[in-house]
Structure 1
Amino acid sequence: MADAYWDAEFDTMPWDELRTWQRGQFAAFLAGLAKSSPFYAQRLDGVPVDQAGSTAVWAAVPFTTKDDLRAGQQAASTDALLGDLQGVDNGDIVQVVASSGTTGVPVFFGLTDADHQSWLDSVANMFFTAGVRRDSVVALTTGMPLVAGGMPYADAVRRIGATLVWVGGQTTARMATIMQKLKVDTLIGTASFATFFAGRCEEVLGVPADQLSVHTVIAGGEPGMGQEAMRERVRSGWGADRISEVMGLCDVMPGMWAECAEGRGMHFTAGRNVFVELVDPTTGEPVPWEFDAHGEAVYTTFTRQATAVVRFRSRDHVRVVGTDCPCGRTSPLIRCVGRTDDMLIYKAMNVFPSAIRDVVVDGFAAEIAGPLRLRKAHADQVRFDEAIPLEIELPESHSPGSTGDLGDRIETAVLERLRVRVAVEFLRRGAIPVGEYKNALTYVGQ
């Protein structure tokens, strides 16, 4: 392992060359999957898998959605532990992980020993790219071992050789105390929790977070840390000299994208095990990996044995923000814009909650406390015919009745930027609950 890269061969391989190599793995991978997994035997029926490396044949391979996986697991035709998706014997599964269930019933995935080793290596690459080193003391704030950000993250931190301090699942006060005592220098959490936690440390410890030892903040699990105003809030709150956004999916690989020290966007770090496509979210047609391209990320796990996914529609909408980087990594650089599952409709306009957040944080960060949320009338509400209720916490020095024209200015900014109306409601500091796992800064359905 070179000091600059975890996997120098794949991190620096020209992007087109990497994708050609990956396509060369498809024929054998799909042929084996069609024999081992009842779910994919049915879906690949009629597809000439021996020619899967060709663009035309690959386009005929059907997309897979989370609902497809859920149905394949719930309506199993065999005694397989993980339903028809499973491609190995029960005895070959050494670990089970689960999607978070934030958008429906959780889907469970299995790992063979070989799968586990692949996960260790790829997720370690993500964290190494994001700044974790052997001498790092790393606080992991996830409190749920079964999900992608739990055991897989912990294993990967240990794989690098860093000191793991798994503080998740405890009270905020105890987490802060442990971090202070053990001189934690790297914090891993969601974007919203990293922001929230910094603001609570002084209340607990009597000293602000920027007087602790944290110099690197690694944030994922939700869009947001690519937004400069939020990065600056986290940077100043912790006194950090490095902010790294990361992204992965339990369905595919818990760690696949990470920012290097340049901080210009996230590199793809799972090329040894995962193929990623960019497609038009409406038509499914391929979108070239070019600067400023927008599309949905679609993944194929061409080395995974226990529960592979093929052309999995992540519902993550991404934008290509660069195609080269001084660090020498050769994958495109991306930012995540939002998720289809989170999208709301205001009259005829589609809007991501993250877009509303970006407008507010970008223009008014100095006047608000940080946490925001969009309020629904019911959990399944997507469409809004009236202005969307937007709750915003105020700093401790302010009260909801002393905001002047701030609400009007925020509503006007959102309307001008997004052509969407919001109705701002101010709350006192601490009114919006924020936990350590996927509590989106801008969206809590009620």
Structure 2
Amino acid sequence: MSDEYWDEDLDTKPWVEVLAWQRTQLASFVTRLAERSPFFADRLEGVQVSGDFDANEWAEIPYTTKDDLRAGQGGEASDNLLGFLQCVDNSEVVQVLASSGTTGRPVYFGLTDGDRAAWADSIANMFYTAGIRPSSVVALTTGMPLVAGGTPYADAVRRIGATLVWVGGQTMARTVSIVADLKVDTLIGTASFATFFAERCEAVTGRPASDLAIRTVIGGGEPGMGQEAIRSRIRDAWNAERVSEVMGLGDVMSGLWGECSEGNGMHFTASRNVYVELIDPESGELVDWTAGASGEAVYTPFTREASPTLRFRSRDHLQVMAVSCRCGRTAPVVRCVGRTDDMLIFKAMNVFPSAIRDIVMEGFASQIAGPLRVRKDRIDQVRFDDPIPLEVELPDGISPTDAGDLGWRMEEAVRERLRVRVAVELLERGAIPVGEYKNALTYVRERS
């Protein structure tokens, strides 16, 4: 660890050399996987394992999806805690975590002592890149230790040597009191919760959140922190000197990308443990890491012991913002623009809910409260023949009848930019619930 870098060797090594070094680790990983996991033994049958995979050879190995992982844990034929995915004895699994279940039945995954150490180190790199230092006093707002943003995040904060103040799960009044009493200077949460929490601070204490000591806000777990209108709202609410986005996923590692002080996107921070590829989501073909490129991130955690995966399709769609950075880190700089699981279709046009949100926030941030969401009739609804219902909250004291033609102007902005139609429904402040963990951009309305 240096003043600027957590893992200076890999953080500053040329990206092509990082990828080349990672590929030297893959052959032994695949061999172990085929020997120890019944699930992957079947999938790897006939695959030739060479001493040093090149990119084209590696591309012949089949992808793994979330549904594959669920299938590998289904049934009762295995005595393993984690089904046929598990690669170690039950006695070696020291911790079990779970996906959030936002896209279906949760997947459980385990960690050995070695896995926990690897996770703590790489997630620490993510947070170090995002601005946490040993002198930081950090409020972790996740209230669920079992999820990827729970215990693994706490371990990583402690790994850096920062002071962990795990406030998740407390009442809002108590959380505000703890943050104020302990002079917390760094907040970890989702973008929507960071905004909501700032508002509650003033309601509870009678003074604005900007009077507290928090000056670094780190957001992940949902899309939004990379959107400038949302970042500005958070920066203003907390008088923050730094707003950083982070991203990971429990199926691979709960911390993979972190935003440096330049604030232009996230660097890959898990190179010591995870191999990352970019692919065309339609064809599955590899995409080069070049500025302006976009594609789906695919991950192989090549040091993972308990429940590894192989060429895991994340469904996260990345936009490569740059391949160099003034901070000196060499990993590509990216933003996540949406997930395949969230893709909607209006007539013949594909659109991410995050793209709709970005248009609304860019043009109307000062006229709305912030929370918004797309309403669906059923959980598996993707296609909309009528305009997509979009619920948008208004600021305190403003009713839908006071808003004039605001909804129509939003609809026109979305139509002009994205060539899809939305039907805006303006709601009073507080109508859209905000939780402390993930807040989805889509929801299904319960019918009576």
Q: TM-score category by the smaller chain?
A: over 0.9
Separation in 2 of the partners of 1:49 and 1:445? 46
Alignment-derived partner of residue 349 in structure 2: 349
Alignment-derived partner of residue 232 in structure 1: 232
Return the offset for 1:240.
0.3
Does residue 127 of structure 1 match 2:136?
no
Question: Helix, strand or coil: the match of 2:328?
Answer: coil
Return the offset for 1:52.
5.9
Alignment-derived partner of residue 271 in structure 1: 271
Q: Is the 8 A contact 1:82 1:110 kept in 2?
A: yes
Alignment-derived partner of residue 443 in structure 2: 444
Separation in 2 of the partners of 1:77 and 1:303? 27
Separation in 1 of the partners of 2:243 and 2:215? 9
| Aligned ranges 1:323-362 → 2 under 5 Å | 323-362=323-362
Does residue 420 of structure 1 match 2:420?
yes
Question: Helix, strand or coil: the match of 1:147?
Answer: coil
Return the offset for 1:443.
2.7
Return the offset for 1:51.
4.9
Q: Deviations over 1:78-102 (max 9, x none)?
A: 3111001000111111111111111
Separation in 2 of the partners of 1:58 and 1:179? 48
Separation in 2 of the partners of 1:76 and 1:47? 28
Separation in 1 of the partners of 2:172 and 2:379? 27
Separation in 1 of the partners of 2:341 and 2:29? 30
Q: Deviations over 1:386-443 (max 9, x none)?
A: 1111111111131111111111110000000111111111111111100011113x33
Q: Is the 8 A contact 2:379 2:443 kept in 1?
A: no
Does residue 318 of structure 1 match 2:318?
yes
Question: Helix, strand or coil: the match of 1:50?
Answer: coil
Alignment-derived partner of residue 41 in structure 1: 41
Separation in 2 of the partners of 1:56 and 1:290? 18
Q: Deviations over 1:104-149 (max 9, x none)?
A: 1111111111111000100001001100111111111111100110
Alignment-derived partner of residue 241 in structure 1: 241
Return the offset for 1:169.
1.4
| Aligned ranges 1:3-22 → 2 under 5 Å | 3-22=3-22
| Aligned ranges 1:42-441 → 2 under 5 Å | 42-51=42-51, 53-75=53-75, 77-440=77-440
TM-score, normalising length: structure 2? 0.98
Matched letter for residue 92 of structure 1: E
Q: Is the 8 A contact 1:198 1:238 kept in 2?
A: yes
Return the offset for 1:200.
2.1
Q: Is the 8 A contact 1:392 1:426 kept in 2?
A: yes
Q: Deviations over 1:285-304 (max 9, x none)?
A: 00000001010000001111
Matched letter for residue 69 of structure 2: L
Return the offset for 1:50.
2.9
Q: Is the 8 A contact 1:76 1:84 kept in 2?
A: no
Return the offset for 1:182.
1.2
Q: How many residues align?
A: 445
Q: Is the 8 A contact 1:31 1:50 kept in 2?
A: no
Matched letter for residue 257 of structure 2: W
Matched letter for residue 304 of structure 1: R
Question: Helix, strand or coil: the match of 2:400?
Answer: coil
Matched letter for residue 99 of structure 1: S
Q: Is the 8 A contact 2:226 2:335 kept in 1?
A: yes
Separation in 1 of the partners of 2:51 and 2:3? 39
Question: Helix, strand or coil: the match of 1:397?
Answer: coil
Return the offset for 1:326.
0.9
Return the offset for 1:75.
3.3
Matched letter for residue 399 of structure 1: S
Q: Is the 8 A contact 1:196 1:370 kept in 2?
A: no
Alignment-derived partner of residue 28 in structure 2: 28
Q: Is the 8 A contact 1:388 1:423 kept in 2?
A: yes
Matched letter for residue 236 of structure 2: S
Return the offset for 1:225.
1.0
Q: Deviations over 1:371-392 (max 9, x none)?
A: 1111112222221111111111
Q: Is the 8 A contact 1:196 1:371 kept in 2?
A: no
TM-score, normalising length: structure 1? 0.98
Q: Deviations over 1:199-251 (max 9, x none)?
A: 22211111111111110000001111111111100100111010000000100
Return the offset for 1:32.
1.1
Separation in 1 of the partners of 2:49 and 2:237? 52
Matched letter for residue 360 of structure 1: V
Separation in 1 of the partners of 2:52 and 2:297? 19
Please, what is the CA RMSD of the aligned residues? 1.0
Matched letter for residue 329 of structure 1: R
Question: Which consecutive residues of structure 2, in runs of 5 or more, have no partner in the other structure?
Answer: none
Matched letter for residue 445 of structure 1: V
Separation in 1 of the partners of 2:363 and 2:431? 22
Q: Deviations over 1:9-48 (max 9, x none)?
A: 1111110001000001111111111001111101100001
Separation in 1 of the partners of 2:18 and 2:319? 20
Separation in 2 of the partners of 1:170 and 1:421? 41
Question: Helix, strand or coil: the match of 1:255?
Answer: strand
Separation in 2 of the partners of 1:45 and 1:25? 20
Q: Is the 8 A contact 1:51 1:57 kept in 2?
A: no
Separation in 1 of the partners of 2:255 and 2:182? 26
Separation in 2 of the partners of 1:205 and 1:35? 58
